[in-house]
Amino acid sequence: MSHSPPVRRLADWDHTQLLDLAAEHDTPLYVLDPDRVAENYRRFSAAFPDADVMYAAKAHTGRAVLSTLLEAGADIECAARGELQRATEAGADPNTLQYTAVNPPDADLDYAVELAGDNPGLTITGGAEDTFDRLEARGYDGRVAIRINPGIGTGHHEKVATGKDAKFGIPAERVPDLADELRDRFDLVGLHAHVGSGVLTDEVEKHAQALGTVADLAREVGDDSLEFVDFGGGFGVPYHEDEPPLDIEAVAETVREAVGDLDATLKFEPGRYVVADAEVILTTVNTIKETQAATVVGVDASLSTLIRPAMFDSYHPIRSVSAPDRADEPVSVGGPCCTSADVFATDRPIARPERDDILAIGNAGAYGYELANNFHSQPRPAEVAIDGDDARVVRRRERMADVTRVEDEAPGAPDAERE
């Protein structure tokens, strides 16, 4: 059992090391702690000792993260073709992978079927009856699981309450008959459901009840005929400084009580819980503007570096690592993008920033680099992984040549025509 703290706050990071990294590698900069990734996975696994705990790759597909988790004994759950490829390139045995298809493009299904042809242990989860028809049309008759839509959603935002979103899964009332049909066409090995993300203490009971509904459906389908029932992820981490972390052992007990006895193996696929507090973003203050409405602090990170505040109105802690002991002052922190959505905090008490100060944005490991983009033709930042006092670059900083390469190398590019 891991005895690491259940959450890592921004104040727990080594500020001297962060300043040194910013000076050496420039900003914006993602700073990843792989040891923390492994600690979080081990803590979760210890709370569910009889379950198969996979990692939901969509939270962070960086090779440094995937290889760390594979070394820790995790299997990988993938939601797209690219994640299947990245998992195998990181060292995963394709026979252990689970592909959870959501409206999969043809190329994704082609890749998954081809991969399963040489690796029959791979499992493909379908969230629409049409997906199973498309698999059969490709000659696939291997391992499948049914993704259930239980009609119950939980999580930190309506956009992640997948359990009640018609986009995800097959209506629960249709699943028993579909299971009978699929047994004649495929090797039906499991059921899958994911009811929401970012669940914290006040939603644990509701989340567990939703999982209990899935377990009841598994018993109706015949849990003794299934290899596993996958209850997805959704377990959150506290983003606000005053929010307590999940007592994951107590959560596990609540879930076990709600689920009851099943002959099938239980599966869970945490993503955010594993990586969120294992990465921060370092950013440099470049502008201080006093207005009647607010003190505006401009930084070089933006919604192209971390889009969650713009997409979900998400709170991320921000702390000065240059001068954390200065008196706090309410400030608004925003980046260089030409949109009002490019704001990390509004009227947030932060140690009074000055130009060239380094700020850290916390809990950036989940859907941070994963959702990074090139808005305003901004090259994506570098990512470094720390190992004690040492650090290594695991993703170099993009150059403008990287941003424009797909145009420069296009067959219709002016240079290509001249050649």
Distance, in Å, from the CA atom of 250 to the CA atom of 234, rounded to the nearest integer, reads: 15
Domain that holds residue 291: 277-405
| pLDDT tens readout for residues 137-157 | 999 999 999 999 987 644 443
Residue 25 lies in a domain: no
Q: Would you list which residues are annotated within the binding site?
A: 234, 269-272, 308, 367
Rg of the chain, C-alpha, whole Å: 23
Q: Which residue has the tokens 């050649």?
A: 419
Cβ(329)–Cβ(357) under 8 Å? no
Residue 21 lies in a domain: no
Exactly one of 1, 107, 166, 338 is catalytic; which is it?
A: 338
Distance, in Å, from the CA atom of 134 to the CA atom of 157, rounded to the nearest integer, reads: 32
The model's pTM is 0.93
Cβ(374)–Cβ(327) under 8 Å? no
Annotation marks residue 337 as catalytic: no
Distance, in Å, from the CA atom of 163 to the CA atom of 207, rounded to the nearest integer, reads: 10
Q: Let me know whether 60 and 187 are in one domain.
A: yes
Q: Let me know whether 255 and 303 are in one domain.
A: no
Q: Let me know whether 47 and 134 are in one domain.
A: yes
| pLDDT tens readout for residues 235-278 | 999 999 999 999 999 999 999 999 999 999 999 999 999 999 99
Q: Let me know whether 144 and 228 are in one domain.
A: yes
- Domain of 311: which CATH number? 2.40.37.10
Q: Would you list which residues are annotated within the binding site for pyridoxal 5'-phosphate?
A: 234, 269-272, 367
Distance, in Å, from the CA atom of 83 to the CA atom of 240, rounded to the nearest integer, reads: 30
Q: Would you list which residues are annotated within the binding site for substrate?
A: 272, 308, 367
Q: Which of 210, 239, 270 is the last residue of a domain?
A: 270
- Domain of 251: which CATH number? 3.20.20.10
Q: Let me know whether 99 and 114 are in one domain.
A: yes
| DSSP secondary structure letter of residue 3 | -
Q: Which of 206, 240, 270 is the last residue of a domain?
A: 270
Name the region of 128 (left: φ>0; alpha: ψ -120 to 50; beta: rest). beta
Q: Let me know whether 127 and 162 are in one domain.
A: yes
Q: Let me know whether 249 and 282 are in one domain.
A: no
- In 10 A of CB 113, how many CB atoms? 18
Q: Which of 270, 296, 324 is the last residue of a domain?
A: 270
Q: Let me know whether 112 and 240 are in one domain.
A: yes
Distance, in Å, from the CA atom of 241 to the CA atom of 102, rounded to the nearest integer, reads: 34
Nearest in space to 60 (alpha carbons), one of 270, 311, 344: 270
- E-strand spans in 233-275? 265-268
- What's the token pair of residue 408? 């420069």
- What's the token pair of residue 244? 């307590």
Distance, in Å, from the CA atom of 312 to the CA atom of 160, rounded to the nearest integer, reads: 9
HSE (CB half, 13 Å, CA atoms) of 45? 18
Q: Let me know whether 236 and 311 are in one domain.
A: no
Nearest in space to 144 (alpha carbons), one of 199, 182, 115, 201: 182
Residue 6 lies in a domain: no
Q: Let me know whether 289 and 266 are in one domain.
A: no
| pLDDT tens readout for residues 156-210 | 434 344 444 578 799 999 999 999 999 999 999 999 998 877 788 778 888 888 8
Cβ(309)–Cβ(317) under 8 Å? no
**DSSP character string of 365-405:** SSSSGGG---GGGPPPPEEEEEETTEEEEEEPPP-HHHHHH
Q: Let me know whether 266 and 282 are in one domain.
A: no
Residue-by-residue pLDDT tens, the chain, 419 positions: 446 789 999 999 999 999 999 999 999 999 999 999 999 999 999 999 999 999 999 999 999 999 999 999 999 999 999 999 999 999 999 999 999 989 999 999 999 999 999 999 999 999 999 999 999 999 999 999 999 998 764 444 343 444 445 787 999 999 999 999 999 999 999 999 988 777 887 788 888 888 998 999 999 999 999 999 999 998 999 999 999 999 999 999 999 999 999 999 999 999 999 999 999 999 999 999 998 888 999 999 999 999 999 999 999 999 999 999 999 999 999 999 999 999 999 999 999 999 999 999 999 999 999 999 999 999 999 999 999 999 999 999 999 999 999 999 999 887 655 44
HSE (CB half, 13 Å, CA atoms) of 44? 31
> What is the total count of domains within the chain?
2
Distance, in Å, from the CA atom of 105 to the CA atom of 242, rounded to the nearest integer, reads: 42
Three-state DSSP state, 149: strand
Q: Let me know whether 309 and 192 are in one domain.
A: no
Residue 86 lies in a domain: yes
